[in-house]
Structure 1
Amino acid sequence: MAVFTRVTEQELAAWLTHYDLGTLTGMQDIPSGTDNTNYFIALAQGGHGADKVVKELVLTIFEHLTAEQIPFYLGLMAHFAKEDFPVPLPIVDRLGKLFSELMGKPAALVARMRGHWIETPTAAQCGQLGHLLGRMHLSGQGYAEEGANRCGIAWHQRSAAAVLKFLDPDEQELLRSELAVQTAFDQTRLPCGAIHADLFRDNVLWQNGIISGILDYYYAFTGALLYDLAVTVNDWCIDDRLRFNGERLHALLSAYRSERPLSVAELDAWPMELRRAALRFWLSRLYDFHLPHPSEIKSTKDPDHFRDLLIQHIRHPASISA
C-alpha cells in the first residue's frame, strides 16, 4: 500500500455521498507498499456520545487496475468474507456498486481489519496459517469468476527485458536461464482455483493469537494452488540463511495437507513452484528498485533476497514426502 493520489477531506466527503455510511470524521495515509493509494477513514453515523456508530474502513484508489479487472478482486474478497474467512468485506454504495471513480480513478471501500503482522512467526502460527490457507483454497475453487495472472509468464518476459541492463553478467544469465525453464514448465496438470498469490507475513494480521485479517487481494488470480502455497512458505518458513526452518515448514505443510491433500503431480512440481515463486518476486522487486513509480511516498524492498533464494532452490531442491 502507498500514497500516489492525494485526496482532501472535502473531496472524499463529496465522494462518500454515494454511500449511506454517515459523516467523515477522519482520514489517514497508509504509506507502506508500492501499488495502490490507500487511506484509513473513519465515519460517524447516528446520535451523539454512546449512541454514535463509528465505522472504520479502508479507501483504495486503484492506480493500475482497470474497471474491467477490479470486479474479480472485490468479488473474491466478498466471497471469502461471506464464508466467514477473515477477509475485508467490500462496501457497496447506494446503487449496489462495489467501486466508482474518485480523482479520475477507480476507488473502493472495504472494512478495516484490526490486528498486527508478525515478523518472526512460530511453528504454531505457521500451522494456523496452513489450516486457513487449505480451507481458503477449497473455498476459492467454488468462486465462479476467473481472473488472469497479471504477473504471469508474459509479464515475466516484459519485466526481465526491462531490468536486464541493470544486472551484472551472472545475474543476467540466472534470469535468462530461469525464465526459459519456467516458460517451458507445464502447470496445467496442477489443481487450480482462486489464489491470493501474495500471502506474505505483512498481509496477515493477528489479534490475541488468532489470525484476524488476510489483506491485499489485488494480485489474486485463478491459478495453481501449489504456487500459492510456494509463495507462502518462501516467506513464512525461510530463516536468515535462506534455508527452510524445519519446524515452521512442517507445521504449515502438515496443517495445509490436513485440509487439502496434495496430488502426486503437485508433489513432483513442488521444487519448480518454489523456484517460480522466488523468480516472480525477484523480478517485481528488481523492477520497483530500478524503475520506481513516481510516488510521493515510496517503499522499495531488497531484490537480492529473492535472487539468493532462487539460487538456493536451484542448488538444493526441496521435496515433500508423499
Structure 2
Amino acid sequence: MKKTLLKTCILFAFTNLSAQDITTGLVFNLGCDSSVNITDGETLTELSSSAATGTIVGEIETIEGPDGNANSAFNFTSDSHINFVPAAITDLPLGDISADGRSYALWIKTAIGETRMQIFSYGTNLKSLHVHLNINQITTNAGQLNLGFWNTETAQTGPFSDITDNEWHHVVAVVNKAEDGYTTDYYVDNELTETVNLVTTDIVDTQIPTTGTAYVDFRIGGRNTEDASLSYTGGLDDVRLYNRALTATDVEALYLAKGSTLSISEVETTDIFKVYPTVTSDILNIKSNVNLEQLSIINLNGVVVKTIETPSEEINVSQLTSGLYFIVGKTATSTSTLKFIKK
C-alpha cells in the first residue's frame, strides 16, 4: 500500500521595491518544503493563482535550499521530473511575445556532467512551437544557459556563467519584444550577465498549442518528450514564470527573498549609504554622504513595516519582531538595499 505523503508547496512572494508587486504577472510558482522524500506518482500543487497540479515521476529528494533551511528545495535525479498540464496554468506565456514581455526565474544547484540538461520545457514535442531552458554540463561549455524558443529552426543561445559548481545560484531570463525580434536579459545572482538579441519573426506570429497529438506536458526537470531525455540533475527551488518582463528591482527582490542567508557583515554598505550594527535589538545607525530622501524597512514576507522620510542617523527598530529585514535607501536618482537582523 503506497504511503500518502504530505507536501507543502510554498509561494515565495516578495513585494517589489518599486511600484509593481512581485506577484503581478506571476502565472506559475513552484517551491517545496517537505521533511520527506517525494514519491513517484504523488501530486503537488504550485501556489500561483493558477493552482496547477503536477504529477511526480521518479524519486525526488528534498535538500537544504538557498535560504539555508533543511528540506526546502527539490533535488532531481536523472530519472525524475514533475509534469503539469499547461492548460491548467492560467496565462502561461505562449506564442506571441507581447509588449509586456515574459520572464523565467529559479534557483539552481548543479555540477558539471557529460551532457546538457533541460530545466523546464513546454509546447509540442517537435522542434517547433516549443519553449525550454537548458544548461550545459559539458566541461567545455559548462554553465551555458540557453532559453530556447523553437519554431522550425529558430533558437536562442544564452551566456556562459559559472553556475555548475554545485552551489546555489539564482537565474533569471527576462524576454522583451523588439522591433525586429526580441531580446533576453540574463541575470545570475542578481547581476545582469548578458543581453542577447535575436532577429526573427518566426515565434512572434505563432501560438504554441495547448492540445493535440504532438502536445505534451509542461515539465520541470527534463525535456517534455516521451523518452524524457535531457533530464536535469541537481537542486531546484522557487521556479517562477511571469507573463511580463521583470525589472532589475524585481530580480533583486526575488534574489534577496531566498538568498537571505548570504553573509551579513558587521557593516553593510552600498554606494549611497551604510548601516551598522547589522545585528541589533534597538538602534540601527545610518551613515550617508548623499541626501537620503527615504528609508523603508521590509520584512521577509515583502511587507513594508516602517517608512522614514528624511531619515536621521539613527533608527529605532526595537518595536520590530526578531528576524531578517531589508532596508531600502532612496535618493532623488537611485535606490539601494541592505539587510540587517533584529534580535
Q: Higher helix fraction: Structure 1 or Structure 2?
A: 1
